[in-house]
């Protein structure tokens, strides 16, 4: 079932990628120019164009353009792949939190969601927030569910959660809110799940 959902999501995001929507939007043209700077040898950690752009997605676009060719398709492909990976990552997170049935329904809903499809086909960096946030939730919940013995395994999960959390800051401005959500979650554990917080606070700190 998951394979069928992913195939549907891939088809909706990649078929006629250069034709729908037709032409490049203003933001995509800006991305073209910034990715071109990377291809020309620049290595900025922040792009000042258009009120500022985080670099990670632009480096991904530059990498795809370097491996293929500079065209509309290669500019949009990272977003299409990000949208597809977002469906898979959201399925993982939903399955960890709510079980397989809810996970399947969530994956189907995201696979055909208008906004996910739009940003997947536009070459927009905002689409990369979904897979990173979903993976952060997945690894965080997996770390919280690990027994106290064998501490290296939950520590590794918390480490992956932290890497996903930090990566969001380098993708899109909304990623700056994610650490605040994690702090609120930790405060909720302090108030309502103190035993779990005492066991998990080293991992949450990591």
pLDDT tens-digit map of 57-83: 999 999 999 999 889 999 999 999 999
**Single pTM value for the model:** 0.93
Rounded to the nearest 5 degrees, what angle is found at the Cα of 195, between the Cα atoms of 193 and 200? 90
The pLDDT, as a whole number, for residue 143 is 93
Task: Report the b/e string of 53-88 with b at 16+ CB within 10 A.
Answer: bbbbbbbbbbebbeeeeeebbbbbbbbbbbbbbbbb
| Residue range 101-120, pLDDT digits in tens | 999 999 999 999 999 999 99
Domain carrying residue 168:
2-205
Rounded to the nearest 5 degrees, what angle is found at the Cα of 167, between the Cα atoms of 202 and 119? 135
Nearest to 110 by CA among 132, 127, 98, 96: 127
* Separation between Cα atoms, residue 42 and residue 14, nearest integer Å: 29
Tally of structural domains, the chain? 1
| Residue range 80-91, pLDDT digits in tens | 999 999 999 999
């Amino acid at each position: 079932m998951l394979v069928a959902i992913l195939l549907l999501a891939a088809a909706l995001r990649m078929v006629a990628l250069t034709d729908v929507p037709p032409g490049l939007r203003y933001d995509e043209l800006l991305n073209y120019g910034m990715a071109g700077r990377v291809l020309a040898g620049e290595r900025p950690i922040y792009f000042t164009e258009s009120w500022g752009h985080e670099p990670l997605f632009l480096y991904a676009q530059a990498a795809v353009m370097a491996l293929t060719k500079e065209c509309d398709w290669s500019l949009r492909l990272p977003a299409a792949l990000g949208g597809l990976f977002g469906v898979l990552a959201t399925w993982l997170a939903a399955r960890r939190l709510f079980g397989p049935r809810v996970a399947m329904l969530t994956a189907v809903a995201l696979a055909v969601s208008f906004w996910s499809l739009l940003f997947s086909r536009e070459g927009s960096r905002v689409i990369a927030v979904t897979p990173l946030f979903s993976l952060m939730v997945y690894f965080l919940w997996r770390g919280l569910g690990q027994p106290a013995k064998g501490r290296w395994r939950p520590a590794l999960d918390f480490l992956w959660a932290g890497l996903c959390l930090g990566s969001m800051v380098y993708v899109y401005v909304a990623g700056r809110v994610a650490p605040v959500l994690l702090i609120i979650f930790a405060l909720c554990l302090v108030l309502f799940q103190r035993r779990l917080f005492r066991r998990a606070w080293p991992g949450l700190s990591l």
